[in-house]
Amino acid sequence: MIIGLDVGGTHTDVVLLEQSGLLRQAKIPTDPADLFRSLFAALEAVTAGVPPERIRRIVLSTTLTTNAVIQGNTPPVGLIVSAGPGIDPEAFRMGEAYVCVRGSIDHRGREIEPLDEAEVRRAADRFRREGIRQVGIVGKFSVRNPAHELAIRERLGDGFDGVFLGHRVSGRLNFARRIATTYLNAAVDPLHRSFFEAVRASLAEKGLHLPLRLLKADGGNMRLEASLECPIQTVLSGPAASVMGAVAAAAGEGDAVVMDIGGTTTDLAVLIGPAPVLNPHGITIGAYRTLIRSLETLSIGTGGDSAVRVEDGRLAVGPDRRGPAMVFGGAHPTPTDAMAALGMLPHPARERACEGLRPLAARLGLDLDAFARAVVDTACRQMLAAADRLVEAINAQPVYTVHELKEGYRVRPRAILVLGGPAPYFAAALRAFTPLAVRVVPRWEVANAIGAALARTTCEVEFFADTERRIACAPAENFQEAIAPPYGLKDATARALALLRVKALARGANPDFLEMEVVEAQEFHMIRGFHTTGKNLRVRVQVKPGLIHGYDALLAHLSAPADPLPPRAAGEALPPC
Partner 1 sequence: MLKARHRVGLVFFPAYDWAIHPQHPEREERLLYTQDQILEEGLFDVEGILELKPDPVVLADIQRVHFCVPDPWQVATESHFISAGGAKTVGMAVCEHRVDRGFALVRPPGHHAMRVVHGSRGFCAINIEAIMIEFLRRKYGIRRVAVVDTDCHHGDGTQDIYWHDPDTLFISLHQDGRTLYPGSGFPDELGGPNAFGTTLNIPLPPHTAEDGFLHALRSVVRPVLDEFQPELVVNSAGQDNHYTDPITNMNFSARGYAQLTEELGADIAVLEGGYAIEGALPYVNVGILLAMAGLDYRHVREPDYERHQIRQTAAVTEAVHRVCDLVLSCWQKRDKLREQVLARENAYRRRRRIFYDTDGFTETQLEEVTPCERCGGALRIDSTTDRGAHILAVHIPHRACPACRDRGLAWFDEASPKRFDRIVLQDGPADRYAVKAREAAGGAKGPSTHG
Task: Give me the residues that bind partner 1 (CB under 8 A), please.
Answer: 85-88, 91-92, 104, 106-108, 110, 112, 140-141, 172-177, 281, 287, 289, 396-403, 405-406, 522, 524-527, 529-530, 532, 536
Supply φ then ψ for residue 347, to 5 degrees. Answer: -155, 135
Looking at the Cβ atoms of 3 and 115, the one nearer to partner 1 is 115
Residue 111 Cβ vs partner 1, minimum distance, rounded to whole Å: 10
Looking at the Cβ atoms of 497 and 521, the one nearer to partner 1 is 521
Residue 481 Cβ vs partner 1, minimum distance, rounded to whole Å: 21
Find the radius of gyration of the CA atoms of the chain.
Answer: 26
Distance CA 375, CA 326 (A): 15
Residue 325 Cβ vs partner 1, minimum distance, rounded to whole Å: 37
Looking at the Cβ atoms of 247 and 394, the one nearer to partner 1 is 394
φ/ψ region of 497 (left if φ > 0, alpha if ψ in -120 to 50, else beta) reads alpha
Residue 78 Cβ vs partner 1, minimum distance, rounded to whole Å: 21
Single-letter residue type at 410? R
Residue 170 Cβ vs partner 1, minimum distance, rounded to whole Å: 12
129 sits in which H/E element: helix 117-129
Residue 394 Cβ vs partner 1, minimum distance, rounded to whole Å: 11
Looking at the Cβ atoms of 131 and 400, the one nearer to partner 1 is 400
Contacts of 208 (CB under 8 A, 6+ apart): 47, 52, 55, 58
Residue 166 Cβ vs partner 1, minimum distance, rounded to whole Å: 11
β-bridge mates for residue 226, sequence order = none
Q: 477, 229 in Cβ contact below 8 A?
A: no
Looking at the Cβ atoms of 194 and 397, the one nearer to partner 1 is 397
Looking at the Cβ atoms of 18 and 149, the one nearer to partner 1 is 149
Compute the half-sphere exposure of residue 60: CA atoms within 13 Å on the CB side of its CA.
27
Pairing of strands 437-440, 413-419: parallel
End-to-end CA distance of the chain: 9
Looking at the Cβ atoms of 12 and 145, the one nearer to partner 1 is 145
Compute the half-sphere exposure of residue 209: CA atoms within 13 Å on the CB side of its CA.
2
Buried b (16+ CB within 10 A) or exposed e, 38-73: bbbbbbebbbeebeeeebebbbbbbbbbbbbbeeee
Q: 92, 166 in Cβ contact below 8 A?
A: no
Q: How far does Cα 528 stand from its chain's mean position? A: 43
Looking at the Cβ atoms of 7 and 465, the one nearer to partner 1 is 465
For the four alpha carbons of 360, 363, 369 and 372, in that order, the dihedral sign comes to: negative
Distance CA 536, CA 522 (A): 8
Distance CA 397, CA 404 (A): 11
Distance CA 512, CA 518 (A): 19
300 sits in which H/E element: strand 297-300
Write the CA distances from 180 to 90, 164, 229, 338, 484, integer angstroms.
13, 12, 16, 43, 36
Write the CA distances from 132 to 94, 162, 334, integer angstroms.
14, 10, 48
Residue 406 Cβ vs partner 1, minimum distance, rounded to whole Å: 7
Looking at the Cβ atoms of 493 and 559, the one nearer to partner 1 is 493
Residue 479 Cβ vs partner 1, minimum distance, rounded to whole Å: 20
Residue 144 Cβ vs partner 1, minimum distance, rounded to whole Å: 8
Looking at the Cβ atoms of 172 and 192, the one nearer to partner 1 is 172
Looking at the Cβ atoms of 174 and 202, the one nearer to partner 1 is 174
Residue 483 Cβ vs partner 1, minimum distance, rounded to whole Å: 19
Looking at the Cβ atoms of 88 and 552, the one nearer to partner 1 is 88
58 sits in which H/E element: strand 57-61
Residue 87 Cβ vs partner 1, minimum distance, rounded to whole Å: 5
Distance CA 179, CA 282 (A): 13
Looking at the Cβ atoms of 290 and 336, the one nearer to partner 1 is 290
Looking at the Cβ atoms of 54 and 110, the one nearer to partner 1 is 110
In this structure, how many other beta carbons lie within 10 angstroms of the beta carbon of residue 565?
13
Residue 401 Cβ vs partner 1, minimum distance, rounded to whole Å: 4
β-bridge mates for residue 61, sequence order = 6
3-state secondary structure 315-326: EEEEEEECCCCH
Residue 523 Cβ vs partner 1, minimum distance, rounded to whole Å: 9
Write the CA distances from 58 to 86, 208, 503, 512, integer angstroms.
46, 10, 20, 20
